[in-house]
Copies of this chain bind each other. A is one copy, B any other.
Amino acid sequence: MPQYNPPLRDIQFVIHELLDAGKEFSKLPAYQDVDKDTMNQIIEEAGKFASEIAFPLNQVGDQEGCTRHDDGSVTTPSGFKQAYEQYVAGGWPALSCDPEYGGQGLPQLLNTVLYETLNSANQSWTMYPGLSHGAYECLHAHGTDDQKKTYLEKLVSGQWTGTMCLTEPHCGTDLGLLKTKAEPQADGTYAITGTKIFISSGDHDLSENIVHLVLARLPDSPIGSKGISLFAVPKFQIGSDGSVGKPNALSCGSLEHKMGIHGNATCVMNFDGAIGTLVGEPHKGLNAMFVMMNAARLGVGMQSLGLTEVAYQNSVAYAKERLQMRSLTGAKAPEKAADPIIVHPDVRRMLLTQRAYAEAGRAFSYWVALMIDIELNHPDESVRKETGEMVALLTPIIKAFLTDNAFVATNEGMQVFGGHGYIAEWGMEQYVRDARINMIYEGTNTIQSLDLLGRKVLGDMGKKLTKFGKIIEKFIEDEGVRKEMQEFIDPLSDIAVKVEKLTKEIGMKAMMNHEEVGAAAVPYLRVVGHLIYSYLFARMAKIALTNKSSNDPFYQAKLATARFYFDKLLPETAMLIRQARAGSKSLMAMPAEFF
């Protein structure tokens, strides 16, 4: 049976020691009261809810899956509803929401911590409140006053939940092809008709109503992605007093049978003239939806961080207990029949890979979450704008880099278990199956890499990237003189220079041939990801070195993990840079019919 212990010390290290979040919050009027004690209390409670309530349902959810009944209703696995009730009773949905609608008004950073722990515990279950929070953010940013009045309090309390309905059978990435129609009604509402697929949390028994945010076309809409509008379409119609009325003309047509995340209801949703209201402006639905999609992309990163952490914990526990073979340098546990497998170098490689990706992924995603708090709350508009640009730059990297790494990490975790890793009861293969979807949904990782390289980097001639690079340059200048930091600063400078050169080279080639962007994007994103992880490991190593005299194993382990990262994981960039530079020629040479 798997286990999960919220990594409180690691979380607190990032928040207090690496990011000094309390100091940052002191500059944000909305969060001036958010001190260290408050944060620690929430972190502990979040970990408690995750490990005690959500975690015990993870394997149950995988085994039972969801059920669609003859009347079209959907029920979630045993215990999911009760856990959600406790989540609502604890006020968790409200954590980072606007106090105007009943929210607790706490930072995004703390919500991010909450989601890391929830996803370690149970990704499928966490997708219900997760998508709901995305719907809250979208309506909060783009809803009309009426919509806000109707929906926000209910979403904040958790009484209602939300979904996002984008994909159709013939279009996922290319939303411009979508066909769902929205017919204006005399009363100002719209009748929505069409089929949506892959709708996570599309129907379930957790909440008394579900608001679907649906992309559809108005009758006079332009062709392509500029003719798409967004609508709020409730499962049950809503009275003027906010009461839940009769069913809307929509239903779950079927549940998908999937590789993983069995506990989440992935629905085909049929809209047959369902009544909804327009969110934001006509034909600008994608803009409004992007608020939700960006939140969702960070959310997917959190799913993968959570899985990385829990896979790591379980494989470490197994590697300390499982006895198999002797160490190549002589017995380490001579009193036992064999040594615990943690003595073997390659088992350690698998464990440290997971550990390094968990530590760097946490540092990276919490940092971006703090940036979002600054973006949304800093009194200085220019700071808000600049920070927002950084968030935009980094979002696709969070999504793609963390999810690719989590697939590596969960697979390493499973491999540590040998044959037992392949057996369901040990729980490790579920982490691999669950982690696999994260590389696909909310924009495939290829799409993320095109967003990064094409739009975010080359789209502004490298301006945002250069600004980001200055943060790293400053650190290199500040720390480069310290001898004990040399082992971290040298490879960091090296990869920083390489990213700059690579970016310029691709930019030049892309001007001649647009395919070069598509050919380089995937390895390019990973190279930039490694630049960020190098920077963060160097910063964490600095803190560990500062605390060296404490003899606290925590800091010694931090240093050891950083050294492992630079030794064994950063070298991936040697491959990636070659792949990116190899360009598009060998990809495009073969005529399609020869495949």
A residues with a Cβ closer than 8 A to B are: 167, 170-174, 176-177, 197-198, 256-260, 316, 319-320, 323-325, 327-329, 337-338, 340, 342-349, 351-352, 355, 407, 411, 414-415, 418-419, 421-425, 429, 432-433, 436-437, 439-441, 444-446, 449-450, 513-515, 517-519, 521-522, 553, 556-557, 560-561, 563-564, 566-568, 571-575, 578-579, 582, 584-595
Say what secondary structure dominates the interface of chain A.
helix
- Other-chain contact of A587, B260, B425, B564, B592 (Cβ < 8 Å): B564
Known: A170-B323, A258-B424, A340-B592. Is A352-B440 also a contact (CB below 8 A)?
no
Contact at B568–A586, with CB atoms within 8 Å? Answer: yes
Contact at B424–A594, with CB atoms within 8 Å? Answer: no
Contact at B587–A349, with CB atoms within 8 Å? Answer: yes
Contact at B346–A518, with CB atoms within 8 Å? Answer: yes
- Other-chain contact of A444, B418, B429, B563, B589 (Cβ < 8 Å): B418
Contact at B594–A329, with CB atoms within 8 Å? Answer: no
B-side contacts of A561, CB under 8 Å: 590
Interface pairs A-B: 9 shortest CB-CB: A345-B518, A571-B578, A259-B429, A328-B514, A575-B575, A574-B574, A560-B590, A567-B586, A257-B424
- Other-chain contact of A584, B323, B345, B563, B587 (Cβ < 8 Å): B345
Give, as a whole number of angstroms, the nearest-CB distance from A36 to chain B.
25
Give, as a whole number of angstroms, the nearest-CB distance from A42 to chain B.
27
Contact at A564–B586, with CB atoms within 8 Å? Answer: yes
B-side contacts of A173, CB under 8 Å: 324-325, 418
A590 to B, closest residue via Cβ: B560
B-side contacts of A587, CB under 8 Å: 345, 348-349, 352, 564, 568
User: Can you spell out 19 A-B residue pairs with CB atoms less than 8 angstroms apart?
Assistant: A172-B418, A177-B323, A197-B419, A257-B423, A259-B423, A316-B595, A343-B592, A344-B446, A346-B449, A346-B521, A348-B587, A349-B522, A415-B444, A422-B436, A567-B582, A568-B579, A571-B578, A571-B579, A573-B575
- Bound together, the chains give a CA A221 to CA B327 distance in angstroms of 24
Give, as a whole number of angstroms, the nearest-CB distance from A507 to chain B.
15
B-side contacts of A347, CB under 8 Å: 446
Contact at A167–B259, with CB atoms within 8 Å? Answer: no
B-side contacts of A328, CB under 8 Å: 514-515, 517-518
Give, as a whole number of angstroms, the nearest-CB distance from A122 to chain B.
18
**Extra inter-chain contacts (19) besides given A172-B324, A173-B418, A568-B587, CB under 8 Å:** A170-B323, A172-B418, A174-B325, A177-B323, A198-B419, A257-B424, A257-B425, A259-B422, A259-B432, A342-B595, A345-B519, A419-B440, A422-B441, A429-B436, A433-B433, A561-B590, A564-B590, A568-B582, A568-B586
Contact at A586–B571, with CB atoms within 8 Å? Answer: no
Contact at A337–B578, with CB atoms within 8 Å? Answer: no
Contact at A515–B345, with CB atoms within 8 Å? Answer: yes
- Other-chain contact of A588, B258, B348, B422, B513 (Cβ < 8 Å): B348
Contact at A557–B174, with CB atoms within 8 Å? Answer: no
- Bound together, the chains give a CA A561 to CA B152 distance in angstroms of 55
Contact at B572–A344, with CB atoms within 8 Å? Answer: no
- Bound together, the chains give a CA A434 to CA B383 distance in angstroms of 51
A573 to B, closest residue via Cβ: B575
A592 to B, closest residue via Cβ: B342
